[in-house]
Structure 1
Amino acid sequence: MKLRTFYKIYYEHRYKKANHILKFYILIIIPIKYFINLIYLPKIINLDDFVDRFGLNETTDLSKLFDFFNSDKGSQFENQYAHPSKRTPKKIKGHGYGDFYQKYFENLKSKNLNILEIGSFHGNASAALFFYFKNSKIFAADIYPDLFRYKSKRIESFYVNSADENSIQKNIIDKFSNNFDIIIEDAGHFFKDQIISLFMLFKKLNSGGFFIIEELDFPDTRRDMNLKNEKPTLREILLKFQNEKILLNSKYIKKNDRDNFLNNIDSIEIYKGNFNEIAILKKK
């Protein structure tokens, strides 16, 4: 974890709100806190050497893998968003998305797939997918790739800012000549980010592939995810199309991406997890 990443995640919001005296104090303590937390940061695990441990190579239950690797996609997890030095083994309730994933992935797990996860964070879900899809390549994208705690010949971790069209274009669309069989969008969940990620990357999805948006309802239910209360949200766009086959206009959807979506979308399903919604889209 880089010092800049530590500041951005844990202190930037405090610094912006602080008065001059408090800003000076924050600037002094950040390097101290940073080096203390480095001691507690989990070591990077080579999953290629991890395969035969704990019987994970025989695990076919994705929910159990999410739980094992402490992903919030599972039923419970340790709080991975606290300072590393303040983490405890106490479990909190997860999103409970495992059963939805299992429903769509069960018949794909033995295939040779390219799977893109946007918003990989520490890589806990990527590690779970690594063991579930034993023959697949995992592409893990995040705005802070230095947080990623796993490595493997089948995993590639890299930078992308899902709030920036140019970053998506440069770091995903232009970078990879191959398309993906599964794309999981689990990044910032902000209003604009959700829309541009889906409509820009839908053309990078192979025929028959799945595009998944986690916390679909964040811009509808959390003000911090949609500060200007813009409309329509991605949830509203998908529900309108699901029910009436009408694709609402948005300034964040380019005409060619809109046409591509209309010509290639096969189905849209929206489910409610323990707290929030998850959308699973299939391409023709």
Structure 2
Amino acid sequence: MLNWLDEATFKIGDVTFTLDYMLGGSKRPSDVKNFTMMKATNFLDKYLSLQGKGIQKVLELGVYQGGSYVFLDKLLRPARISAVELETKPIPALDRYISENRERCKLYYGTSQADVDALERIVRDDFDGELDLVVDDASHFYELTKTSFETLFPRLKPGGTYIIEDWSWSFEPSYQDTSHSWFTQPSLANIFIDLAEELSINNSVHEVTIGREMIVITKTTAAKQGPLFQGKGRRGRDLQLL
């Protein structure tokens, strides 16, 4: 599927993508002919493995320059793909792509990943209440990420996939500097403890795979699925920067 032009640039069909991963955010804007993906190459294999799994309904949290949104659309060819983005500044290249595919594609600017009402409305109106895949590449903050998961994981179809990217930021030296604006934020690694508890006591979660790039949570195919985060064990809330 990927036609590599150089070590950081590839094409899928008629769309070109450039990988430009930088801590703090790439400054490279997307162009209608060349979308920016703020990801390293080791992310791609994880997404390539999703091909052929019949993924038809995709929701992305956080789009940055839009490259990952277009990448998922071209790679998986879903029937519908929507996304939320906290920023309100338009992304012209992505806006044009969505306009050209408006029957399948939507983007909601100025929408937090923790806006439960908005997320529920999007799932209901865009996807008839059920999702195949959620990709969380939004705030990377523990509480906001957990709120999204609590809201959207129950809306996944049985066997569906939920991905949380860039969980390891708190272990990077720059984020451990007390002057960093994120220093007081609880580590996103706290989500491991929550997921471990769910995996042990809740038949909604089938499998949790933790990799350097992302956490992949697979939903069970069991007929009965319990509510999330109902256990009373230690949940790792006190895990902070090292």
Task: Verify same fold: TM over 0.5.
Answer: yes
**Pairing of 1:92-171 with structure 2 (within 5 A):** 94-95=39-40, 96-103=42-49, 105-108=50-53, 111=54, 113-144=56-87, 146-147=90-91, 148-149=94-95, 150-151=97-98, 152=101, 153-159=103-109, 160-169=111-120, 171=121
The residue type paired with residue 52 of structure 2 is: N
Provide the rounded CA distance (Å) in 2 between the counterparts of 1:120 and 1:93. 10
**Pairing of 1:181-260 with structure 2 (within 5 A):** 181-219=132-170, 222=175, 224-225=181-182, 227-229=184-186, 233-238=190-195, 240-241=196-197, 245=200
Provide the rounded CA distance (Å) in 2 between the counterparts of 1:206 and 1:194. 20
- Count of residues paired in the alignment: 192
Provide the rounded CA distance (Å) in 2 between the counterparts of 1:92 and 1:180. 23
Q: Are 1:189 and 1:219, in contact at CA under 8 Å, matched by a contact in 2?
A: no
The residue type paired with residue 217 of structure 2 is: L
Structure 1 gap ranges (5+): 1-58, 247-261
**Pairing of 1:54-65 with structure 2 (within 5 A):** 59=1, 64=10
Q: Tell me how far 1:107 sits from its aligned partner.
A: 2.2
Q: Tell me how far 1:231 sits from its aligned partner.
A: 9.0
Q: Are 1:267 and 1:281, in contact at CA under 8 Å, matched by a contact in 2?
A: yes
Q: Tell me how far 1:65 sits from its aligned partner.
A: 5.0
Provide the rounded CA distance (Å) in 1 between the counterparts of 2:48 and 2:188. 32
Provide the rounded CA distance (Å) in 2 between the counterparts of 1:216 and 1:61. 29
Structure 2 gap ranges (5+): 221-242
The normalised TM-score by structure 2 is: 0.64
Matched position secondary structure for 2:210: strand
Q: 1:186/1:102 Cα in 2 relative to 1: closer, same or farther (>3 Å)?
A: same
Other-structure match for 1:280: 216
Match among 16, 21, 27 for residue 82 of structure 1: 27
The residue type paired with residue 184 of structure 1 is: V
More strand by share: 2
Other-structure match for 2:207: 267
Provide the rounded CA distance (Å) in 1 between the counterparts of 2:64 and 2:205. 29
Matched position secondary structure for 1:198: helix
Q: Tell me how far 1:271 sits from its aligned partner.
A: 0.9
Provide the rounded CA distance (Å) in 2 between the counterparts of 1:68 and 1:220. 32
Query: Identity of aligned pairs, percent?
Result: 20
Provide the rounded CA distance (Å) in 1 between the counterparts of 2:37 and 2:132. 31
The normalised TM-score by structure 1 is: 0.56
Other-structure match for 1:172: 122
Q: 1:225/1:218 Cα in 2 relative to 1: closer, same or farther (>3 Å)?
A: farther
Provide the rounded CA distance (Å) in 1 between the counterparts of 2:47 and 2:188. 29
1:230-278 alpha-carbon deviations (Å, 9 max, x no partner): 798213333x348x826xxxxxxxxxxxxxxx23111000111xxxx30
Matched position secondary structure for 2:158: strand
More helix by share: 1
Radius of gyration: which is bigger? 1
